[in-house]
Structure 1
Amino acid sequence: MKKIGQSKIVNLVISLVIAILLSAYVLSTKTASLTSNGSDNFSTLIPEKKATLKVPLNLQFDSDNYVAVGAPTTVSVDIEGSGALISAAQSRNDIQASADLRGLKPGQHTVTVALRGVNASLTSTVTPQKITVTIAKKTTTTMPVRVTYDQSKIARGYTVSELVSDPKRVIISGPKTNVEAVDTVAAQVVLQQGIKDTITQAVRLVAYDKSGNVVEVNFDQRTVNVTMTITPADSKKLTLTPEIKNAGNNQYQVSFEPKSVTAYGASDILNAMSDISVPVDINQRQSNGNVNVTLPTITGIVRYDVKNVTAQVTQTTDGGAQSSSSSGASSASSSSH
């Protein structure tokens, strides 16, 4: 009986040792695995980034003899990967998109868009992946540029005195039917409301047929520089008439220097005027009797050739001593406001 008990104790001790050894082995294996995979786990902590780039689409074909119409000018490229690589792709513009049309006959074709310059560590997708393009024999002609704008945007009293397009003519090309359908090549200038100043603007060209529909053609240059010179619509020389203020019962003689000014503005306003009523405040007289007067603001008049005039004020009568018969001279008339 004693041997049997001792045998059980020995077995328990052996089992405990084996269990400890197995636990130590498993723990060391996990530690080694974590250690060996440390770099991989670190790499998974690098943040990934997504971005969408607009990339010009290059069409490869015999451009001397053929034209390709219907293709977009740019495509969207979605890229995904590490933030550093995404930032580099955005700043360096190395990604190129192209569609190979070489060897294709005239007609409509659907081709695949190919990408180049994408880092191998990035995932990329192009939209659209396929494009439909029409290849046709090339026809060219030269057309004048017609500049258009919204007249209602010009401030009242102003007009467009000169409109210059640089260049004045452009070359258009495309399928014969398209080129022959073009009636006008237009450059539509976009204006802000109430514009008064001369502007120069790069304007995109659009081709239209006789019905005002857009015609698909190619241009030797897509934009032109338009200079729009904006000036007052009309001008007129007007005499100055005094409107005396704060004269009380006294009478004054007023003369202006200069005696007349040139006003610039809307034709309908100027045509209805022969003179300008200029307020002269007697209380503003200087020691020499002069009053510096700012010309009045009048709707439709945008400016004068001078901003201020000098009014020479002379008192002709003292209020109480003047007879009623002497108060009729227009240049010496008085009013109190």
Structure 2
Amino acid sequence: MDKWFKSKNFVRIISLAFAILLYVVVSLDLSDSQSGNDSRIPSNESSDIETIEDFPIGIRINEDKYVVSGVPEHATVQLQGSQGVLVPTVRQKNFDVFVDLEGLNPGEHTVEVEYSNIPNDLEVFVEPKEVNVVIKERASEKFSVDVDFINTDKLGEGFELGSTEVEPERVTITSSKDVIDRIAIVKVFVDVAGLEQSIESREVPVKVYDSQGNELNVKNIEPENVTVSAKLLNPSKTVPVAVPTTGDLPDGYSLSSIKANTDEVEVFATSAVLEGIKEVSTEEIDLSDLTKSTTIKTKLSLPDGARVPKTEEIEVKIDLERAKTIKNVSIEVEKLEDGQDISFVKPDDAKTSVTAIGTEESISKLTAEDIQLLVNAEGLGEGEHQVPLTIKGPDNITFKAEMEQVTIEIT
């Protein structure tokens, strides 16, 4: 053995063998770094390491014919090498990370995440290394957009939504054919809680659902948002005011009139509520304790959802009448011809009772002297006659005699 090491030829052969071995190792290392997807964990050699999070993953496929699912949006890229190469590469990010699906048929595939345009001097590790993708045929179709207003019960009392406009009325959805076939509803949601004025061109996102109401994850909607305009209405109509009463007036009193100080009011409510309103009433007025004409204030009794702005109370005027009977009012005769004499058959004393109906003030002072009972004898010949009884008295009082006609005898 010592003789071999002392031999120059042996030493030359050994040196040549080590040189060949070193060349082979270096050549294999360079070959791996140029392969386009070096997923080795960076070595612990003295060099710098940079990690780029959320680097976008591209998809290489004919997008006019196919749609792809399963490809994550981002990858994590780790680069290792000298600062002179590493720093500008990380700063400029002029490289690509992608999955190449060209030439693959529709269906499920497991493909590598590749990269390009990264200097060969850098070691590269990409996560994820592989992804499972699904390739499907692309389809496009136009759909009408419906509007769903939410929280309509939180609109102001009496307000409702009127005409609605959507711009554009139809959107184009592009996805796989099986997803397009599942689409049943395309709509937007507009929240109207607390709305105080009409909606003018509010932008809202488009949502897509299947026939079961499940939202579909459709990404390619053109446009993704539409604008919605809607009129906020406050319908109203004018109706008469009624004054209901309860209870009976005390004995001797009757109701002459009862009337609100306004004949009609404008009621605001939704169209559905207004349709059932023919009139509005005040709160019931109790007559049982009234003994004189008066004016009272009361509130309107409105249906649910209806309102009369600026009219919290209205005045109601109540006019009462009192009945008073005056007995033994004398009956007088007028237009009796010369030479004739008259006597009363019924009533034989030429007197009867009169009932007067009027206000408390007018009735309280009324006496028999204020009332005149008359029979007209003009043109009557000799004999017995039945003639009507005429009553005269103050204009603001209504009179009714106990007898509407009397029997007289002319001689």
TM bucket (normalised to shorter chain) is 0.3 to 0.5
**TM-score scaled by structure 1?**
0.47
TM-score calculated relative to the size of structure 2: 0.40
- More helix by percentage: 1
